[in-house]
């Protein structure tokens, strides 16, 4: 291609020379051979000289400039290598290559981040599964090795093993939910339902856990029906998790209050507790999967660190928001909005 264009330029130069010389020759009373010599020999000479010059200077400049472009792109300096040059086409080429490189760098960065997250997720899953399995294994082996003979010990060990089995089961369930969400399989079945009725249903489910810690669990709204448009089972899971957390991380004799704020087109549900609260530095991370403020406490409080990640996914799938305000030692308020029904 390069050869072809240099050939064309040389041809145009030589034709130009030929035409000039030919023009001159009209005014001279010369023979045809003189015309040939005057017209075509200089043209031929100009053709080769032109081609030589083009190859030597222009093409070598093109090559040197291309090399500069590649070198600057290689170490991501992206500084123009054709500054102050007349090679406009090279600038176009440089810009095109830069665009391509920028797009590819962004894409590679994105893929690396996904790969990092995948590895981190696998590591976290393995770590979370190991602990309950290890515990169940320990209790069963101790029972087989003789503890089974002692009715009291075996009852105690079986009870502990059962707790770990329950934890394992909720962990697996949360993992299935998270992986479905991340595989893009989260589908909403939106219906209209009374949010107040659902909140009362969740309060009934959490009542026993609240009583065990003497936590006063109450809702603060009237009896009037309030319709929202959302996926009922998913909002139930959201409420269950938020109310469950308020009890789990609440103090003995504390309280959890659920109230509703109405605005045109939206309702906001607020879950307020006076529990241990969350320190400011942890707040931005609590919706990340497996994030727990106090990891060591996971041994005493059943915890997967997946609940809030699922809650956030569910609320955002409804194009709504979940917010948290909290003060360590004072308590937390989790609130989320929903679209109002007709
Ligand atoms: N109401 C709350 N009060 C204090 N801390 C909370 C509350 N809700 C959540 N957290 C903190 O956020 C972390 C993540 O919550 P979550 O994702 O539901 O996981 P899990 O409850 O399984 O630990 C919890 O481990 C806890 O440290
Ligand atoms: Mg939770």
For residue range 178-187, list pLDDT tens digits in order: 988 988 888 9
Residue 26 CA to ligand 2 centre (angstroms): 100
Q: Is the CB of 202 under 6 A from ligand 1?
A: no
CA of 295 to the centre of ligand 1 (A): 11
The protein residue with its alpha carbon nearest to ligand 1, atom 7, reads 245
pLDDT of residue 160: 92
**What does the pLDDT read at residue 37?**
73
Classify burial at 134, counting beta carbons within 10 Å of its beta carbon; exposed 0-12, middle 13-18, buried 19 or more: exposed
Q: Is 307 in the pocket of ligand 1 (CB under 6 A)?
A: yes
Q: Please state whether 305 falls in left (phi above 0), alpha (psi between -120 and 50) or beta.
A: left
By mean pLDDT, which of 4-8, 48-52, 208-212, 268-272 is the weakest? 4-8
Mean of the per-residue pLDDT values for the chain? Answer: 85
State residue 77's pLDDT score: 58
Tens of pLDDT along 295-342?
766 556 778 899 999 999 999 999 999 999 999 999 999 999 999 998
Taking the CA of residue 293 as reference, the ligand 1 atom at the shortest distance is 27
The number of the ligand nearest the C-alpha atom of 250 reads 1
User: What's the confidence (pLDDT) of residue 308?
Assistant: 97
Q: Please report which ligand is nearest the Cα atom of 325.
A: 1
Cβ of 303 less than 6 Å from ligand 1: yes
Confidence of residue 175 (pLDDT cuts 50, 70, 90): very high
Dist. CA 302 → ligand 1 center (Å):
11
Instruction: Give the SS3 label for residue 249.
Output: coil
Phi and psi at residue 324, to the nearest 5°: -135, 135
Q: Does ligand 1 have an atom closer than 6 angstroms to the CB of 39?
A: no
- CB-based burial label for 219 (10 Å; 0-12, 13-18, 19+): middle
Please spell the DSSP secondary structure of 251-315, one letter per residue. Answer: PTT-EEEEEEEEETTEEEEEEEE-SS---TTTGGGTTSTT--S-GGGGGTS---S-HHHHHHHHH
**Interval 98-111: pLDDT, tens:** 788 888 889 999 89
Q: Which atom of ligand 1 is nearest to the CA of 246?
A: 1
- Band of pLDDT at residue 71, cut at 50, 70 and 90: confident
Ligand nearest to the CA of 170: 1
119: pLDDT strictly greater than 70? yes
Q: Which atom of ligand 1 is nearest to the CA of 305?
A: 19
Confidence band, pLDDT 50/70/90 cuts, at residue 204: very high
Pocket test for ligand 1, best of 178, 258, 292 (most atoms within 8 A of CB): 292
Highest mean pLDDT among 88-97, 145-154, 316-325: 316-325
Of ligand 1's listed atoms, the one at least distance from the Cα of 276 is 4
| Ligand 1 pocket check for 81: Cβ under 6 Å | no
> What distance in angstroms lies between residue 303's CA and the mean position of ligand 2's atoms?
6
Give residue 18's pLDDT.
Answer: 59
Residue 2 has pLDDT above 70, yes or no: no
Q: Is the CB of 245 under 6 A from ligand 1?
A: yes
Atom of ligand 1 nearest to the CA of 273: 1
CB 235 within 8 A of CB 333: no
């Amino acid at each position: 291609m390069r050869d072809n264009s240099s050939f064309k330029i040389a041809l145009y130069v030589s034709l130009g020379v030929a035409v000039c010389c030919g023009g001159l020759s009209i005014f001279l009373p010369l023979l045809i051979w003189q015309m040939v010599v005057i017209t075509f020999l200089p043209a031929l000479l100009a053709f080769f000289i032109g081609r030589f010059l083009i190859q030597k200077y222009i093409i070598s400049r093109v090559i040197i400039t291309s090399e500069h472009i590649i070198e600057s792109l290689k170490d991501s300096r992206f500084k123009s290598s054709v500054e102050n040059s007349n090679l406009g086409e090279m600038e176009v080429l440089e810009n095109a290559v830069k665009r391509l490189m920028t797009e590819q760098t962004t894409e590679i960065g994105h893929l690396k981040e996904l790969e990092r997250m995948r590895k981190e997720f696998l590591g976290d899953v393995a770590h979370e599964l190991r602990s309950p399995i290890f515990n169940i294994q320990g209790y069963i082996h101790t029972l087989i090795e003789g503890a089974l003979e002692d009715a009291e010990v075996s009852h105690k060990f079986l009870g502990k093993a059962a707790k770990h089995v329950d934890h394992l089961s909720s962990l697996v369930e949360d993992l299935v939910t998270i992986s479905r969400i991340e595989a893009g399989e989260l589908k909403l079945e939106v219906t209209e339902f009374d949010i107040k009725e659902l909140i009362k249903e969740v309060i009934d489910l959490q009542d026993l856990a609240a009583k065990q810690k003497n936590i006063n669990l109450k809702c603060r709204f009237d009896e009037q029906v309030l319709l929202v448009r959302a996926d009922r089972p998913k909002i139930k899971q959201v409420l269950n998790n938020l109310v469950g957390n308020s009890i789990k991380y609440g103090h003995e004799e504390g309280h959890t209050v659920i109230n509703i704020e109405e605005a045109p087109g939206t309702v906001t549900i607020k879950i307020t507790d006076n529990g241990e609260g969350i320190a400011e530095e942890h707040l931005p991370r609590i919706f990340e999967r497996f994030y727990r403020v106090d990891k060591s406490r996971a041994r005493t409080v059943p915890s997967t660190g997946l609940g809030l990640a699922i809650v956030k996914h569910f609320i955002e799938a409804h194009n709504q928001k979940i917010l948290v305000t909290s003060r360590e030692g004072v308590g937390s308020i989790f609130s989320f909005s929903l679209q109002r029904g007709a």
